Amino acid sequence: MHLPRGIAMALGATSLMAFASPFLAEIPAARAAVAEAGAGAAHPDMWPTRTATVARDPAVERRVDALIAAMSLEQKVGQIIQADIASVTPDDVYHYHLGSVLNGGNSDPGGRYNAPAKDWLAAADAFYAASMKPDGKLPRIPVMWGSDAVHGHNNVVGATLFPHNIGLGAARNPDLVRRIGAATAIEMRVTGLDWTFAPTLAVVRDDRWGRTYEGFGETPEIAASYAAPLIEGLQGRIGDKDWLRGPHIIATAKHFLGDGGTAGGKDQGDARMPEAQLRDLFSPPYLPALDAGVQSVMVSFSSWNGAKMHGNGSLLTGVMKERWNFDGFLVGDWNGHGQVAGCTTTDCPQSAIAGLDMYMAPDSWKELYRTTLAHARDGTLPVTRLDDAVRRILRVKVRAGLFEAGKPSSRPYGGQFDLLGSREHRALAREAVRESLVLLKNAGGLLPLKPGANVLVAGDGADNLTKQTGGWTLSWQGTGTKRSDFPNAQSIWEGIDADVRAAGGSATLAVDGHYVRKPDVAIVVFGEDPYAEFQGDRPDVGYDDAKNLALLRSLKAAGVPTVAVFLSGRAMWVNPFLNASDAFVAAWLPGSEGGGVADVLFGKADFRGKLPYSWPRSSDQTDVNVGDADYDPLFPYGFGLTFADKGDLAPVPEERANAAAADPGLLFAAGKPGKGRSLLLGAPGALSTNPGPDLIEARAADRAAQEDSVRLRWTGAGPAVAAIVQDTPVDLSRQANGDLALELELKVDAPPSAGVSLLMGCGARCAGGFPIRPVLAEAAKTGKWTRIAVPLRCFEKAGVDMTRVETPLSLATSGTLDLILSAARIVSPSGPQLACK
């Protein structure tokens, strides 16, 4: 369902006025620019020096110089901009001379999250062809395509999915990650892509962070030991003939700098610490990465001492380029430049001036191109800096042989689809799973299990590839996938079943744990649902899961020995689960090869994994790190039992420290507003919980359960509003930048008799929204439950200040209307959305 283009524009100002007076107008002239004088200025001479390991090839430099001399200014500006395939066409790449495209986590060829591999290759060919199409005398410069292949080529159906970095960190095996890099590069080549936004070299200090699993661990040592082998696996070795080409691709070290050190583990937050600490904790992995020849570095969304990295010249230029002699290019993160003080996503010369070489401007590229061109013309962006950025990008393209490579499908491995999830790659992934598992408890030496046993497999993670593969899998959040999206994969249950059957035993799957014949042992697989980035930020590290806890306890009560297999993207407080199980395995996010779990549980291999993150003693022990003065985790960094160890564990306290804080995305569900929010009704400007029935009334209604919804009925006696109002304003700017949407589930029983507005409010005289009468009228016709999703960015465009939303949802009309609302959420949308432009 799409709103006709222009509707929002046409109606925005006038019709909203009538209903929205309590919220409206006077949108702050500009967001107050934070004064950052002095904050975040580094002293490069405090940082180690580094000599370049990639020799400057005079032939490459001459060629780049010649290209630059022949390029138009427009072409140079286009070269430093990267657009997302959801918002750019091959034609655009041609006309705007764009240097690069990417697919964000939710962007896929044809807009299908499970688009077949051949569609990826065809899209790569189309973008390449557009970049090479003749254009007068201008030199032709091949486009490069970047993708987050962060645990294998995870955006593509059928690819091998390796354990997320947290599991690889547990393996402590640099040779393993080298081979994983090489396999990932080949699978990317199959689909015609030449550049991965990996590895993440974050040193993660607070496990509340939603990207904890993207980091290898809490110390700089693990990431530092992995950086070079992984990058060499991906890119090949400096000096080799197939460096950056053939079976190899271009890698990215990210996110520079301090991404894992933000206060409170907040994604895109602020690392508040002295310079020496920033240097000593977070920068060590970058040195081996540079020494191994990594050709791009992604700038972090985060800040250091209040100043956004995307504007930090002292670190981007002073340290990375000058002190460390990095001669590849710095790519930005998803509209990250827009967060620099004084910038917007479409206008930010500050970032390039600070040292950014390529803007990641997914949807903002066109307007950014226009403003950047203007800045280049008037000298705001000095041409020397522009040329330097272009030179760095071209240097990498020449080094990678892109000018000679031909169209992606004609390059080595292009179109060899049987290499996606090949037997060899899957065997490697299975080996990685075996090495990643950490055994935390093994009472009475329950493990290894006898493969001839009668085994019950239970828990909602047992046969669940969505959970097992985690975020950054086919979709950004890793949610919304189904079994058939994983043709080359084995769930943990499938792996156990195969191993046990091969050994003459019998295994039974019952997610809820029921059984007829009492099993010899039960394996219960459970854990976190997938998430990515800030969507995964948590108020603490307590793991709550009443269902699987009850399951473990009932099995124990029945005298069945239990093995808990815990899937998670971080170390979590699981004390009640530890008490309720005889053996406990931290399995992280293992990826496509569930068989690797079976191999170890049944003793084909011993446990080798060691904790890459200290395991918390309480649910509020969120930032416990080895080396802390008062270090007191439940299991220390480096802990991990083997079969030979005595694995008993005395009962641990079960009291949970923190109650979970409000979920920023939950506006209304289960018949009531989300925590920290109220449902208010009434005439504009006079909202209350219970205004009397004259204008509008709210009554509990049923959808799937008793009173799980609310019926809202507008009488038509005058303008009236139903709104979800915050107790305290909420900052939804990251959610808006992350392409999240306001999603409503409703059923319209009587169509609107007049215009209806869907609004968000941001304090006195600050609001914006859209007319949605046509959508509601349409829903009334079907009489069915309808899902309506509006991108948050549309509200931003309509004038809402996303940094201080007070009313995340309001519906206003002066006509009659009767609808039932069952849910309102801010989510990463999994279906069609209304268009706002």
Nearer to ligand BGC by Cβ, of 338 and 673: the residue is 338
Give the orientation angle of helix 423-436 with respect to helix 174-190, to 10 degrees: 150
Nearer to ligand BGC, 105 or 233 (CB): 105
Nearer to ligand BGC by Cβ, of 333 and 796: the residue is 333
Phi-psi region of 353 (alpha: psi -120 to 50; beta: other; left: phi over 0): alpha
Phi, psi at 628, each rounded to 5°: -60, 150
Binding status of residue 197 toward ligand BGC by CB under 6 A: yes
CA distance 89 to 74: 18
| SS3 call for 488 | coil
Q: Nearest distance from residue 346's CB to ligand BGC, in Å?
A: 16
Find the shortest distance in angstroms from Cβ 534 to ligand BGC: 7
- Stated as kind and residue range, the H or E segment containing 768 is strand 767-771
Q: Pick the closest to residue 326 from 276, 279, 388 (CA basis).
A: 388
260 binds ligand BGC (CB under 6 A): no
Nearest to 1 by CA among 775, 772, 792: 775
Report the Cα 809 to chain-centroid distance in Å: 25
Near ligand BGC in 229-258, by CB under 6 A: 254
Q: Is 417 near ligand BGC (CB under 6 A)?
A: no
Q: Where are the alpha helices (DSSP H) in 98-200?
A: 117-132, 165-171, 174-190
Among 104, 284, 495, 769, binds ligand BGC (CB under 6 A): 104
Among 101-109, 176-184, 642-650, 784-792, the segment contacting ligand BGC (CB under 6 A): 101-109
* Cα gap 455→449, rounded to integer Å: 9
210 is a contact residue toward ligand BGC (CB under 6 A): no
Q: Going by C-beta distance under 8 Å and a sequence separation of 6 or more, which residues neighbour residue 531?
A: 210, 470, 471, 477, 478, 569
Answer for which of 293, 738, 751, 799 binds ligand BGC (CB under 6 A) is 738
Q: Which is nearer to ligand BGC, 106 or 814 (CB)?
A: 106
Contacts of ligand BGC in 129-148 (CB under 6 A):
148
Strands (E), 428-554: 438-442, 454-458, 506-509, 521-527
Task: Give me the catalytic one of 206, 267, 499, 533.
Answer: 533
431 binds ligand BGC (CB under 6 A): no
Query: Which of 576, 724, 746 has the alpha carbon at shortest distance from 664?
Result: 724
From residue 639, alpha-carbon distances to 191, 359, 626 in Å are 40, 42, 11
* Residue 477 vs 491, nearer CB to ligand BGC: 477
Among 84, 108, 291, 333, the active-site one is: 333
737 near ligand BGC, judged by CB under 6 A: yes
Q: What minimum distance in Å lies between the beta carbon of 364 and ligand BGC?
A: 12
Per CB under 6 A, 338 contacts ligand BGC: no
**Min dist. Cβ of residue 253 to ligand BGC (A):** 11
Q: Does 363 bind ligand BGC (CB under 6 A)?
A: no
Q: Is 476 in the site for ligand BGC (CB under 6 A)?
A: yes
CB count, 10 Å around CB of 731? 13
270 contacts ligand BGC (rule: CB under 6 A): no
The CA distance from 689 to 682, in Å, is: 8
In terms of phi and psi (left: phi > 0; alpha: psi -120 to 50; beta: otherwise), the region of 745 is: beta
Q: How many residues bind ligand BGC (CB under 6 A)?
A: 15
Six-digit token string for 388: 């330097």
With residues binned 3-state (H G I as helix, E B as strand, rest as coil), the percentages for the chain, rounded to 5, are 35, 20, 45
First CA to last CA distance, the chain: 14
Chain positions 517 to 536 lying near ligand BGC, rule: CB under 6 A, are: 533
Minimum CB separation of residue 579 from ligand BGC in Å reads 37
What is the DSSP track for 524-576? EEEEPPP--GGGG--SS-B---HHHHHHHHHHHHTT--EEEEEE-SS--B-HH
Which of helix, strand or coil describes residue 98? Answer: coil
Choose between 105 and 808: whose C-beta lies nearer to ligand BGC: 105
Of 158-166, 460-468, 602-610, 732-740, the segment contacting ligand BGC by CB under 6 A is 732-740
* Window 604-623: residues binding ligand BGC (CB under 6 A): none
Considering only residues 75, 82, 106, 473, which one is a binding residue for ligand BGC as defined by CB under 6 A? 106
Q: Residues near 719 by Cβ (< 8 Å), separated by ≥ 6?
A: 18, 19, 683, 684, 695, 812, 813, 814
Least Cβ distance, residue 6 to ligand BGC (angstroms): 25
Q: How far is the CB of 533 from ligand BGC (least distance, A)?
A: 5
Q: Smallest gap, in angstroms, from Cβ of residue 368 to ligand BGC? A: 16
> Nearer to ligand BGC by C-beta: 351 or 757?
351
Nearer to ligand BGC, 211 or 426 (CB): 211
Which of 334, 413, 486, 795 contacts ligand BGC by CB under 6 A?
334
- CB of 651 closer than 8 Å to CB of 619: no
**Looking at beta carbons only, is 181 or 495 nearer to ligand BGC?**
181
The verdict on whether 214 is a catalytic residue reads: no
Q: How far is the CB of 597 from ligand BGC (least distance, A)?
A: 27
Answer yes or no: 333 catalytic: yes
Residues that bind ligand BGC (CB under 6 A): 102, 104-106, 148, 197, 254, 301, 333-334, 476, 533, 737-739
- So which residues are the catalytic ones? 333, 533
